[in-house]
Amino acid sequence: MGRCYDARMGRYRHVPHVRFFTGFLAIILLVVSACPAKAGDGAASCGRDVGDARVKDCLCRFVHRKRHHFRHWVWSGIFPGEGGSIPDPHYLCSEDGVFPEPVNELISDKGSRYAIVDVNPFFNDGSSEVLLLVKWQDEVFEYSLNFPKRKDVRAILGQPTPPPALVFPYKTGLAVLVTFWGRARGAYVLPLPLPKKTALELVGFGTPEFAEIVGAFGSVAQDRTTKDQFCKATNDFVAFYEKYSGPCAGRVKDGPEIEKNFARFWLSN
């Protein structure tokens, strides 16, 4: 018990002492924060809900970030009794994508693949990032994808989903064409041989380098595997292909329609 002076009553009154409770709570929080993370707690999971199927072999499982207990206090769900605290870190992962033949020939590995990963997308702060993962010769390379406006950019909107990126040769390296939600569109240049973990900068539309990337795309656009990847992808990649290489098979479009679709998916704010 503690004593508190009540001016209205002109005397001291006894109040319950809260030091014990606050001290007990502090001990509990300290113990929880000191608990070691279980194996995989800070790693992305390959599993995804498709009936009862589980995908065990994916690039996403190679992403590891330190687990934080109290860095964020964000609740998932509408009502207090539903959902739970969003873990830190959390991930949204694309499926693994395969490279077209011109890329496989350039890197001399037909077994290579790539994926896009959102790290902490629901926090939308400095801990959030978008990653490109590339598997080459049994080694996985991780690249952080930078863009001018970091906030409100999401690469993965649901699972399962193919990677929102397509790859083709560019000069002595690779161009990674991306379209992320939040109007982050353009290409990243990935040099060869593949560098170790580093950050890549977005090459935006309207820049001289992007014009060079488009020119490089034209040299491989009629390759069967490249064309199949673009023409069987989402509408934004179809619009890009038809803008710079002509209509996909089975599509009859005139010039104004192609330009309209391209502006809708790649130029609108």
pLDDT tens track for 187-239? 999 999 999 888 999 998 889 999 999 999 999 999 999 999 999 999 999 99
**Would you state the pLDDT for residue 74?**
60
- Regarding whether 230 and 135 lie in a shared domain, the answer is yes
Which contacts (CB < 8 Å, 24+ apart) does range 136-144 have?
136/107, 136/109, 136/112, 136/194, 137/109, 137/112, 140/59, 140/62, 141/194, 141/195, 141/196, 141/197, 142/62, 142/63, 142/197, 143/188, 143/190, 143/197, 143/198, 143/199, 143/200, 144/198, 144/199, 144/200
- Regarding whether 124 and 29 lie in a shared domain, the answer is no
- Looking at the structure of the chain, the number of domains it has is 2
**Would you state the pLDDT for residue 71?**
65
- Regarding whether 83 and 14 lie in a shared domain, the answer is no
- Regarding whether 29 and 59 lie in a shared domain, the answer is no
- Regarding whether 107 and 2 lie in a shared domain, the answer is no
Global confidence as pTM: 0.75
**Would you state the pLDDT for residue 88?**
75
**Would you state the pLDDT for residue 69?**
60
- Regarding whether 134 and 4 lie in a shared domain, the answer is no
For the chain, which ranges sit under pLDDT 50? 2, 4-9, 11-16, 18, 20-41, 47-55
- Regarding whether 138 and 17 lie in a shared domain, the answer is no
- Regarding whether 25 and 42 lie in a shared domain, the answer is no
- Regarding whether 105 and 3 lie in a shared domain, the answer is no
- Regarding whether 208 and 138 lie in a shared domain, the answer is yes
Give the domain extent around 24. 1-35
